Structure 1
Amino acid sequence: MILEIILLALILFFAFIFVVAYKMVTPPREIKNWTPKDAEIEYEEVTIPTSDGLKLKGWWIDRGSEETIIPLHGYTSSRWGFYIIPMIETLAKSGYNVLAFDFRAHGESEGKYTTVGDKELIDLISAIDWLKKEKPSSAKRIGLIGYSMGAMVAIRALAEDERVCCAVADSPPMYLDKTGARSLKYFANLPEWLYYFVKPISKIITGAKEVNPIGYADRVKKPLLLIAGKKDPIVKVEEIKEFYERNKKINPDVELWITEAAHVRTIQLMPEEYKEKVLQFFEKYL
């Protein structure tokens, strides 16, 4: 009888773990009615094919420039994210072309599962491929601004895609396990130790590889602005500082801005200073 109870408890536990893992890799989609037109910005609805067969939805904003900036949203967000919309307005009204799109399994894009920084690099590279093919005169120089998961992708792209000139990385996770465990508590209000049961099931579901951006600290040699918040419950300032200290040994154009904000909330805490700093960075390096 005791063995049967233990067996039933184990079955229920792993069934619960599977449900949690599935929900973590299939986040709710953020879709809103706002478009750049609401900010009096002309735009074009675009569909971007990925190299692995998905279709990503996005907006193309042509400001007649040779420079394009691509904002990259975080996990559970989209091009309607609270930090993406003001950056679209700021960048476009400052004269930059903007290509904003939803990562796979987010917003209006195809894809069943998010891989939190792995296959999302395919999405970005495919977006740059589309940009170079469809808008070549507008994409002579390309910059990125990424948030959380999008910041991970931006850092990877700096090292892996020669077409990217520079990037801003706001609240980039550095260690997948540490951030994953904290995220389980932050997003699902579950104990962090459950992550180590959830992780292998998530990897089986998605087929994703583990991405630890800290490993790119020895590879990125292009201008990079890192933004970290002291009140961030998901990514510790010390982890971003570790990347910065390692990267500056090979990269004279890496900068670190530490604020009092929570995760990707600096733009809310100090909006004008944030926009000014981002624009100064792109003006200098893009």
Structure 2
Amino acid sequence: MPWPLLLIFAALIFLGFAAFVGYKMVKPPRFVGDWTPRDLGHDYEDVTIETRDGLKLSGWWIPNGDKTVIPLHGYTRSRWDEVYMRQTIEFLLNEGYSVLVFDFRAHGKSEGNYTTVGERELIDVLSAVDWLKKNHPEKAEKIGLVGFSMGAVVTIRALAEDERIACGVADSPPIYLNKTGARGLKYFANLPEWLYHFVKPFTKLFTGGKELNMLEYADRVKKPLLLIAGENDPLVSPEEVREFYERNKKVNPDVELWVTDAPHVRTLKLYPEEWKTKVREFLKKWLE
């Protein structure tokens, strides 16, 4: 085969591989577990939340106190996650909050073909608040969010976009999404970070998602926000979270930053009592 044809053939194989990787990134395997809030000692209701763009999200409504907190899982996980979601749900219930928890689109048991890792997932959170306001308005006067990774991105965005949300905790929030995406290739698939430059166009092609500029939200969030970052996070540099914090602090006197030595979304696992104390005091201050 002539060299020009060999080069074209190699380029097509490379692009095909990049497209395959992009497809796998936006269509992660669905994580579904078998525990329920009843295992935590609480009755609950299976609920379906219809999003503003027509998807059906699967979730649990766990009535408890008169304030509600919505925990938000990360990329590739779901409400059944046992690294941080189960512990967070149990903690919030023990603190006397009602909990509304659901699987983001294309995760768990929710509808949706593709994830946009924080872009359209904002619609999911706003729709969950719609559901809560309609079905349980007596428990929706003050609403808090506790988000992890992708859920932390959505927490930050929701604080800027929805006046109904009072405060938010953002644990391990990606700030430079391209950098986190490149690191994710290495972290999740052991692929070189430079490959992300070729993969990214395919992720946008599959999902139609828009690119997020999280630093823009540092100028827009003016509600209580607790940022949590880890020095040993392979996906999100603590310096990037600190940059967001320093910028947000100029317009938001109620932003806090807590940096630990934990890996990605592992502060709760490694330092459970410190995490609970920090989040307890934050939620008590701004919800009660």
TM-score norm. by structure 1 comes to 0.99
Q: How does 1:50-129 map to 2 (within 5 A)?
A: 50-63=51-64, 65-81=65-81, 82-129=83-130
1:16-74 per-position Cα deviation (integer Å, ceiling 9, x unaligned): 011000000000111000101011111111000001111000010101x2210000000
SS in 1 for 2:227: strand
Q: In the alignment, what sits opposite 2:143?
A: 142
Q: How does 1:229-268 map to 2 (within 5 A)?
A: 229-268=230-269
The alpha carbon displacement at 1:245 in A equals 0.5
In the alignment, the residues of structure 2 paired with residue 133 and residue 121 of structure 1 have an alpha-carbon distance, to the nearest angstrom, of 18
1:68-111 per-position Cα deviation (integer Å, ceiling 9, x unaligned): 00000000011011201111001012110000000000000000
Dislocated runs of 4+, deviation >4 Å:
none
User: Quick one: which amino acid aligns to residue 21 of structure 2?
Assistant: V
User: Quick one: which amino acid aligns to residue 279 of structure 2?
Assistant: V
In the alignment, the residues of structure 2 paired with residue 251 and residue 205 of structure 1 have an alpha-carbon distance, to the nearest angstrom, of 36
Aligned residues: percent identity? 64
SS in 2 for 1:71: strand
Q: In the alignment, what sits opposite 2:163?
A: 162
User: Quick one: which amino acid aligns to residue 137 of structure 2?
Assistant: P
Q: In the alignment, what sits opposite 1:18?
A: 19
In the alignment, the residues of structure 2 paired with residue 11 and residue 258 of structure 1 have an alpha-carbon distance, to the nearest angstrom, of 44
The alpha carbon displacement at 1:212 in A equals 2.4
In the alignment, the residues of structure 2 paired with residue 70 and residue 57 of structure 1 have an alpha-carbon distance, to the nearest angstrom, of 14
1:100-141 per-position Cα deviation (integer Å, ceiling 9, x unaligned): 000000000000100011000000000000000011101110
In the alignment, the residues of structure 1 paired with residue 230 and residue 190 of structure 2 have an alpha-carbon distance, to the nearest angstrom, of 21
In the alignment, the residues of structure 2 paired with residue 225 and residue 97 of structure 1 have an alpha-carbon distance, to the nearest angstrom, of 20
Q: Across the two proteins, how many residue pairs are aligned to each other?
A: 285
In the alignment, the residues of structure 2 paired with residue 277 and residue 5 of structure 1 have an alpha-carbon distance, to the nearest angstrom, of 59
SS in 1 for 2:236: coil
The alpha carbon displacement at 1:272 in A equals 1.2
SS in 1 for 2:86: helix
TM-score norm. by structure 2 comes to 0.98
1:252-282 per-position Cα deviation (integer Å, ceiling 9, x unaligned): 1100000000000001110111111111110
SS in 2 for 1:190: coil
In the alignment, the residues of structure 2 paired with residue 115 and residue 174 of structure 1 have an alpha-carbon distance, to the nearest angstrom, of 15
Q: In the alignment, what sits opposite 1:191?
A: 192
The alpha carbon displacement at 1:181 in A equals 0.6
| 1:8 is the counterpart of 2:9 | yes
Q: In the alignment, what sits opposite 1:37?
A: 38
The CA RMSD over aligned residues, in Å, is 0.7
User: Quick one: which amino acid aligns to residue 262 of structure 2?
Assistant: A
1:232-269 per-position Cα deviation (integer Å, ceiling 9, x unaligned): 00000000000100111111110000000000000111
